[in-house]
Amino acid sequence: MTGRHAGFVTRMANEGANPVLRIWCPPHEIDLVLKAAAEAVADGTWIEVVYSYSIFLRQQQNLITEMNAKCPKKTNRWTHLGRVLKFYKVHRRRLIEYTTEKNATKLLGDDWWVLTFALAPVVDAVNTTLVLL
C-alpha cells in the first residue's frame, strides 16, 4: 500500500462510489492503535517531548563525547522509540544535570519522567510482540 504508489488505496477508497474493504496485517493494525495511543498521552505532549528532547541531545557534541554515547534517533518506528526511552532511563541523572547546566528551558519535569519510566516497559512489550508477529 505504501510502495511506489503511496496512498493509492486511500485515494481509491476516498474517490470510489462503492465502499472499499481494507485489510491490514496485525502488526500494522497494532502500530496504528499504538500511534494513536502515544499521541493521546498527556494530550500529545509526551511523545512530542520525546522527539524534541532527542533532537536536542543529538546536537550536544560535548555531552556525546563525555558520555561516549549518542541519543538514538527517534523516528516513527516503535523499535526506535524503545531505544530512545532506554537511553533516557539509563542516562537520566546525567541528562538532567547537563540540561540544568546548559539549557534549563529544556529541563523535563518529574511528571514527564514518571510517564517515561511507566511507558517504557509497554513499548518494550509492543516491540517484542511486533517482532514475533
Q: Is residue 8 part of a domain?
A: no
Whether residue 19 lies inside any domain: the answer is no
Q: How many domains does the chain have?
A: 1
Range of the domain at 63: 26-132
pLDDT at 5: 65
94 is a domain residue:
yes
Query: Domain for residue 102, yes or no?
Result: yes
Is 116 domain-assigned? yes
What average pLDDT does the segment 75-98 reach? 89
Helices within 18-109 (DSSP H only): 26-40, 45-58, 61-67, 78-90, 92-102
Dihedrals phi, psi of 60, to nearest 5 degrees: -95, 85
Asked if residue 14 is part of any domain, the answer here is: no
Whether residue 104 lies inside any domain: the answer is yes
- Domain-embedded: residue 17: no
Q: What is the pTM of this model?
A: 0.76
**Average pLDDT of the segment spanning 18-34:** 77
